[in-house]
Homo-oligomer: A and B are copies of this chain.
Amino acid sequence: MTLLFAPLALLPNGWAENVRIDVGADGAIAAVAPGAPCPADALRLAGPVVPGVADLHSHAFQRAMAGLAERTGAVGGMDSFWNWRETMYGFLARLTPEDVGAIAEMLFVELLEGGYTGIAEFHYLHHAPDGRPYPARGEMAARILGAAADAGLGITLLPVLYAHGGFGGEPPTPGQARFLNDVDGLFEIATAARAACAPGQRVGLALHSLRAVTPKELSTAVAALDAVDASAPIHIHVAEQTAEVDACLAWSGRRPVAWLLDNAPVDRRWCLIHATHLDADEVAGIAASGAVAGLCPTTEANLGDGLFPAEAFLAAGGAFGVGSDSHVTLSPFDELRVLEYGQRLTTRRRGVLGAPGSGCGADLYRRAAAGGAQALGVAGGAIAAGMRCDLVVLDDDDSKLIGRSGDALLDAAVFATPNRAVRDVFVGGNRVVTEGRHPRADAARAAYRAALKRLSEA
């Protein structure tokens, strides 16, 4: 049993002082006692303590192209998600498993330093550049799980079923060759990934999108997952771009989210990634299903996706979490700020998404912690008995936190920068970041630099 002691901590019913946290050998919180004396053998946490947030949507390799696809097209002003996707396909064509492992470890180290305690890796880069499976079919998956274990970041790996290039089973493009599997092939990867899991790591399922799987493949894959783990999470990209909505309407007569809600067993296990373009029925439908809306505000802004109808969704009681997705930013605070700012810029109001009477940043943070844990399929997202002991100790030497207390600490962490709010990070009760630094940062940077050098010469 490990004992932690927090002078100030955010518990499910609010901020509490002098909180004793007992952590079991399994990394879960065994007991929480506010107003307690500090045991002699406890580790005294050096700042206000908040639950960690899981990053619910990641394509780890994309970190290495952050900022690379920002060159404005020669025709000017016509850049879009779809050009960006071509750039991304070109970049990933050269990546080896060793490259992906190096990129993932650098990323995971920086996500921990940014305050994330877990990640859902939406893993679709399965095969060799020519599209053939690696001799060990789970090679790439194992590299990502290994990088997470080395960095100490919690992970739920979601092997992605990607079978087609468009609605109605259209053939894939050459740029998609590394992603492709049928359901059996994907479950070979998933089985290998389960075998490669370190303690606390989990494997679920992702369906790339309704563009990439047929209705039959969707139901077959969900049934195959149920046979192995009937509570494992299921994620899907949906309604990110208006062109996708239009194509789905042309194919099925239904909008993508409406189609999914009618034709798949969407419930609390599910996480709908992006879900940007929704009508009012779809907003209500996702909220009622209990599924998590997997919002990726900085990537959605970077790619020009548009704005998720967050105010209506939260008013309907919807659950949400945040993902760093393409990894242009690596902090839950950044994601929540951009989420709220998008709403403010279009409504011309402030405090749009915060619950009345609470700190807007603090309220968004609490909900994102809960939604992130749900999306990863782990008990977590709050400081309470039974939850994984994923904690962030805020740095009260950060100028923007000086003089702040209670919700205003998280309001400042979310709405003010620079991002220096993270002092220490604990995952499963283990301290993985100390004084803002991960001990593997320098080694990870050296390996990352070598990988990018190989890529530039490839």
Contact = CB atoms under 8 A, between A and B. Distances in A.
Scoring A113, A300, A330, A341 by chain B CB atoms within 10 A of each residue's CB, the highest score goes to A341
Contact of A68 (B306, B334, B397, B408): B408
Nearest to A76: B356
Contact of A328 (B114, B354, B416): B416
A169 to B, nearest CB: 27
A338 interface: yes
Contact of A346 (B311, B330, B346, B448): B346
Contacts of A84: 350
B304 A242 contact: no
Chain B CB within 10 A, most for which of A83, A303, A356:
A356
B70 A359 contact: yes
Interface string A34-72: 000000000000000000000000000001101110111
Interface in A327-349: 327-331, 334, 338, 341-342, 344-349
A141 interface: no
B71 A358 contact: yes
Given A304-B345, A402-B449, A360 B71 contact: yes
Contact of A74 (B327, B345, B357): B357
Given A71-B351, A349-B304, A106 B416 contact: no
A199 interface: no
Interface residues of A, number: 85
A433 to B, nearest CB: 13
Contacts of A298: 341
A302 B336 CA distance: 12
A68 B412 contact: yes
A135 interface: no
Contacts of A301: 341, 344-345
Contacts of A351: 70-73, 77, 79
Given A345-B301, A345-B307, A403-B449, A72 B328 contact: no
Contact of A302 (B77, B327, B344, B356): B344
B397 A445 contact: yes
Nearest to A358: B72
B344 A345 contact: no
A456 B403 contact: yes
Interface of A: 63-64, 66-68, 70-81, 83-84, 106, 110, 113-114, 242, 298, 300-307, 311, 327-331, 334, 338, 341-342, 344-352, 354-361, 363, 397, 399-400, 402-404, 407-408, 411-419, 445, 448-449, 452-453, 455-456
Would you list the 8 A-B pairs with minimal beta carbon distance, nearest first? A67-B412, A403-B452, A72-B354, A76-B356, A79-B351, A70-B411, A79-B350, A72-B351
18 contacts: A66-B416, A67-B411, A67-B412, A70-B411, A71-B354, A71-B407, A72-B351, A72-B357, A72-B359, A110-B418, A114-B418, A242-B348, A302-B341, A304-B350, A399-B448, A402-B449, A418-B418, A419-B419
Given A71-B411, A74-B356, A403-B456, 20 more contacts: A66-B415, A67-B361, A67-B400, A67-B404, A67-B414, A67-B415, A68-B404, A68-B412, A72-B355, A79-B351, A80-B349, A81-B350, A83-B350, A106-B399, A301-B345, A328-B416, A329-B416, A346-B346, A403-B452, A417-B419
